Structure 1
Amino acid sequence: MLDSYARHTVQPAIEGGAIFFRSAGLTANKITWAAMLIGVGSGAVLTLGCPVAAVVMLWISGYLDAVDGTLARMTKPSRWGTILDITFDRVVEGGLLIALLLVNAEAYLPIALNLAAILVTITIFLVTGNVIPNTGAKGFHYNPGLLERTEAFVFVTLMILVPNLVWELAWLFFALLLLTIMKHLRDVYVWLGKNNID
């Protein structure tokens, strides 16, 4: 939700980063790779017992993930870049949840369910993006959800920094993911109905 409705508040900082990296000769795809590597590194650092460093790396990764799309639109967006971006986002999320599972084995069930729910959420998100025509600046129709990447980062950050509440936070995250799935399904169902499409 924050990605869709609060993006304008941080967009100047994102554009500033895009301009900086463009002037340094870096492409959007290189920034996408850097975001993924730093994000996966965040999970590795967490398993080594450095939660604060893991959170810092996570948010650097998230910032770069926002910068790469802006940089692509400043230059020439590519379908390959869109594929890399979406794929690497899931790599980072999966890596972080696995790292959380490794350091919080007592919360294995809700964390494992988070992984499963993210798989379903991204599936319906992408299917919806494929069905509904794109009228925005992104590479496909972007359907806002109750939970988006920023909210996921907030939950992961809380689970890292407040490990005594990881069980409760993981269950809450799972519940909100389920609501997000239902919202995406409802949105595409309504759109199909309005357009008389089976």
Structure 2
Amino acid sequence: MPSGLRGDDSKGSKTRSPAATLLATATLIAISIGCSSPAKVGISPGTAAAKAMELYDANKDGALDAEELKKCPPLAASLQKYDGNGDGKISTEELAGRLAGLLAGSSLAGVDLSVTLDGQPLSGATVKLRPAAFLGGELDMAEGVTDEMGIARPTIPPEHIPEEFRKSPLVQKIPYLVEITHSERQIPAQYNSATELGFEVDPSARGGLSTVFNLKSK
């Protein structure tokens, strides 16, 4: 049985869970936006890849290993998606190639990010998505607040979304640094000011439109 679906044997039908329904909606939005061809994200894959090596390639071998990737949570979280030859590293060519594919087509998509704290859904948490540093400083940050189920749907500023989609929370298809805070709950620095969280928005990849951040208070 597909994840997020609940069987109803008495009627032979399937009922979507709230999370599955949100994910289906986000997927439809991404497809619809792809048909409308909004403006592309202003990133050069080659330039971004070179910048990543400049920032994180400590041993100057032209690739980022697991130790070096600790300085870049957005890439560390998606290592397997970038590591085309399976050597446990991300080369300049692998990084540029994947970014080119990621940025092709639609530039926006809807995402569902679930947050738990010590195993329980965390409502009222602010989730910020900051574009990875190697992409340059001109991209929009996205932000959202978790609902009673602990699910946030971050969005970039509405004025940067095509007018026909402004009622939908949308983000750019790029790697993000994730910061999670709460006005009433203490959230450790490893999830915000010194975050170790990363997420890449990619409608074509498994888990590219949704993920769960399982936080621990200690």
Q: TM-score category by the smaller chain?
A: under 0.3
Calculate the TM-score normalised by the size of structure 2. Answer: 0.23
The structure where helix makes up a greater share of residues is 1
The structure where strand makes up a greater share of residues is 2
